[in-house]
């Protein structure tokens, strides 16, 4: 076959196979037989082998999986992938509806309801219709590039039906049938089975060898658009229809609801029906349908105010509590944990459940040897609900918390206004191990390959005693450890080295300063910009920072006053760990003192033709202003684009200054 003939035939085969694949995997409506599809695929594979210069990244042949990857690259999400707040009953849903109504100034809310697929949240990016990148949710801000593995999911089109630039989000999952087949294969060769389809899907998509992912028969449902160019979409259900129009797969069970009563009816209908689905779901997602109303409601630090996840009632089972173990956390808190006879709850085997503290044990009258009811809170965390007193035999034993730390034998103390017992020995081995585990965790330094097992191994071998030691690890030390081959060692050392350039907030959170969570760490990093500035800040300076209260300010001062901490920071600096905030900067008052937006509250409304909403918002914030979603007496300025509606009318009624988009651009350009 001549080259030009081969090129033409390859292009025709790709077009046919992509269309057949979309009908089979995306619509579940095959239009050709499996034999015909396989015959055309083999012809394409043969032609691409003969003429490799015509192979493209969107060829259906890439779905068999490429070469193994050394590690996953990190990806920063342009729009954060936030988690959702939870509802557990009808009252919670009605409370959500009440909050939505209170927050809206632009009409009655309607809702879009969808099944909450139990899988792995992912983001897909297309440029001019071509699939260019897929990533995990990660910590919501930074995920992992799993493009090659996502290409093996046949319901993900490699080229859309329109040449649009778009980023969509969805849930990759393993169908129940694929899960059963996979576990049967694992059992046949003596391998440990996956606990549930969610774990199996996540494990498959985080395989460094895409060929493994290709064999797992995963699927996906897309549920939102996070970014799109040159399209006007006004509602969530319209967005779903557009996603489907592009050739992407959506879940067909979604419903548009005009009132909260319809939402509750939809939710209740799926409590029983979910068992009949060919895939696992763990709840229902409810979203305010109108996108303009979503913008008005906005976000909290962790989740959107316009959406909530209803979680199905937890499955409750009975088992025996055979013992109570004690765990020492990184802050020294000693937590009792129930040891249970293994039992299956919500698809996973449960052997342990937290008992939180001694007061709870007394309150629930828990004894060793009791028959207890166990459930998973939110289908995730196992907990003991209650004791079945009628099943007691008289042989059960009372439990008493110890007076000394189970790890280091130091005397335990109960601090003022605290329920928990605490070990205050800074050299306690358990606290050191837990502190190391926290330091490498996803929301902190995010070091791939350093889980609890490896940390415990490194600590037991005397290779690490504090977080600085992680950056001193050598190949010859690691290669001697159990389950550490050449490739594992290389990947781990690369992962550790990569985290040296993390922005300051990751390090701050990783240090485990009491009361300083991930959000507060980001606030501190943005405000002070360097760790030296935070170290030098006194109590009053820290307390003056937005969202930093007295308790947290006092904890930060006490932490950095410790000589051991000062030595640790110095050591990390010498090892090349970044001590500076590298994210988006807060505007300097000096830089923006002439800005018309400084300390002003601005509302954007209507359709902007020369800027996107995000671009306009970034300009305002860079010049010291604050953008909100609703017009009130506190609003200083409204920027009105085309077809501005109720917000413009309210601004005029209240006598608030209104600018056109042209005036806004002129002012921000000066």
Mind telling me the catalytic residues? Answer: 116
**DSSP notation for 503-534:** -HHHHHHHTT-TT--HHHHHHHHHHH-BHHHH
For residues 388 and 320, what is the distance between their CA atoms, to the nearest angstrom? 10
For residues 332 and 472, what is the distance between their CA atoms, to the nearest angstrom? 26
Residue 439 parent element (H or E): helix 429-439
Q: What does residue 289 show for φ and ψ, rounded to 5 degrees? A: -75, -40
State the alpha helices, DSSP H only, in 189-313: 197-205, 210-214, 236-245, 260-273, 291-297
Q: What does residue 586 show for φ and ψ, rounded to 5 degrees? A: -70, 145
Nearest-CA neighbor of 509 among 497, 522, 500? 522
For residues 622 and 610, what is the distance between their CA atoms, to the nearest angstrom? 18
Question: Residue 653: which residues within 8 A CB-CB, separation 6 or more?
Answer: none
Contact 130, 191 (CB under 8 A): no
For residues 405 and 410, what is the distance between their CA atoms, to the nearest angstrom? 5
Q: Residue 96: is it exposed, middle or buried by C-beta count within 10 angstroms (0-12/13-18/19+)? A: buried
Nearest-CA neighbor of 354 among 334, 331, 332, 371? 334
Q: To which residue do tokens 């025996």 refer?
A: 320
Q: Residue 392: is it exposed, middle or buried by C-beta count within 10 angstroms (0-12/13-18/19+)? A: middle
Q: What does residue 161 show for φ and ψ, rounded to 5 degrees? A: -75, -10
Nearest-CA neighbor of 505 among 443, 556, 447? 443
For residues 354 and 349, what is the distance between their CA atoms, to the nearest angstrom? 15
Q: What angle do CA 74, 77, 78 make, to 5 degrees?
A: 140
Nearest-CA neighbor of 450 among 488, 417, 421, 419? 488
For residues 516 and 509, what is the distance between their CA atoms, to the nearest angstrom? 7
User: Long-range contacts for 383-390 (Cβ within 8 Å, ≥24 apart)?
Assistant: 383/353, 383/354, 384/321, 384/338, 384/353, 384/355, 385/316, 388/318, 389/365
């Amino acid at each position: 076959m001549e080259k030009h003939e081969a090129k033409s035939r390859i292009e025709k085969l790709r077009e046919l196979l992509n269309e057949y694949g979309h009908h089979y995997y995306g619509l579940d409506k095959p239009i050709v037989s499996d034999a015909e599809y396989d015959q055309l695929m083999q012809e394409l594979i043969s032609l691409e082998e003969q003429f490799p210069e015509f192979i493209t990244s969107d060829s259906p042949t890439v779905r068999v999986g490429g070469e193994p990857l050394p590690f996953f690259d990190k990806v920063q999400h342009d729009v954060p992938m936030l988690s959702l707040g939870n509802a557990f009953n009808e009252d919670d849903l009605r409370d959500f509806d009440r909050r939505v109504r209170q927050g809206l100034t632009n009409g009655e809310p309607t809702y879009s309801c969808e099944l909450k697929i139990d899988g792995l949240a992912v983001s897909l990016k297309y440029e001019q219709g071509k699939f260019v990148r897929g990533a995990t949710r990660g910590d919501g801000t930074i995920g992992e590039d799993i493009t090659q593995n996502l290409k093996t999911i046949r319901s993900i089109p490699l080229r859309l039906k329109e040449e649009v630039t778009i980023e969509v989000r969805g849930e990759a999952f393993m169908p129940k049938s694929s899960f059963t087949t996979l576990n049967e294969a694992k059992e046949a060769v003596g391998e440990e089975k996956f606990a549930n389809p969610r774990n199996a899907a996540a494990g498959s998509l985080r395989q460094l060898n895409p060929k493994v992912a290709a064999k797992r028969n995963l699927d996906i449902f897309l549920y939102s658009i996070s970014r799109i160019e040159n399209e006007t979409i006004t509602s969530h259900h319209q967005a779903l229809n557009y996603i489907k129009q592009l050739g992407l797969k959506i879940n067909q069970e979604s419903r548009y609801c005009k009132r909260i009563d319809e939402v509750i009816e939809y939710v209740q209908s799926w409590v029983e029906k979910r068992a009949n689905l060919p895939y696992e779901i763990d709840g229902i997602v409810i979203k305010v349908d109108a996108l303009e109303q979503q913008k008005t409601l906005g976000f909290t630090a962790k989740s959107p105010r316009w959406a909530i996840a209803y979680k199905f009632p937890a499955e409750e089972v009975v088992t025996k509590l055979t013992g109570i173990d004690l765990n020492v956390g990184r802050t020294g808190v000693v937590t009792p944990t129930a040891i249970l006879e293994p039992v299956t709850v919500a698809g996973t085997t449960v052997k342990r459940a937290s008992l939180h503290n001694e007061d709870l044990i007394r309150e629930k009258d828990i004894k060793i040897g009791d028959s207890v009811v166990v459930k998973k809170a939110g289908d995730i965390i196992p907990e003991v609900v209650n004791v079945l007193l009628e099943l007691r035999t008289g042989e059960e034993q009372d439990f008493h918390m110890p007076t000394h730390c189970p790890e280091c034998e130091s005397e335990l103390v109960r601090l003022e206004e605290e329920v928990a017992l605490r070990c205050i020995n800074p050299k306690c081995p358990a606290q050191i191990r837990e502190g190391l585990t926290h330091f490498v965790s996803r929301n902190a330094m995010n070091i791939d390959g350093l889980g609890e097992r490896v940390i415990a191994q490194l600590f037991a071998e005397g290779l690490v005693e504090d977080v600085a030691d992680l950056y001193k690890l050598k190949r010859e030390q690691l290669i001697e450890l159990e389950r550490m081959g050449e490739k594992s060692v290389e990947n781990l050392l690369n992962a550790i080295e990569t985290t040296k350039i993390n922005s300051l907030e990751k390090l701050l959170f990783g240090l485990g300063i009491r009361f300083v969570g991930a959000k507060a760490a980001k606030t501190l990093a943005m405000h002070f910009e360097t760790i030296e500035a935070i170290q030098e800040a006194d109590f009053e300076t820290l307390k003056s920072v937005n969202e930093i209260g007295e308790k947290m300010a006092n904890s930060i001062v006490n932490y950095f006053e410790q000589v051991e901490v000062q030595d640790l920071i110095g050591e990390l600096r010498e090892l090349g760990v970044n001590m500076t905030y590298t994210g988006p900067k807060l505007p300097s008052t000096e830089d923006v003192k002439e800005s018309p937006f400084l300390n002003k509250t601005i509302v954007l409304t209507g359709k902007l033709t020369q800027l996107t909403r995000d671009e306009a918002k970034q300009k305002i914030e860079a010049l010291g202003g604050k953008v909100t979603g609703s017009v009130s007496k506190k609003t200083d300025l409204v920027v009105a684009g085309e077809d501005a509606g109720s917000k413009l009318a309210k601004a005029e009624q209240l006598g608030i200054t209104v600018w056109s988009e042209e005036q806004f651009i002129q002012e921000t350009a000066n």
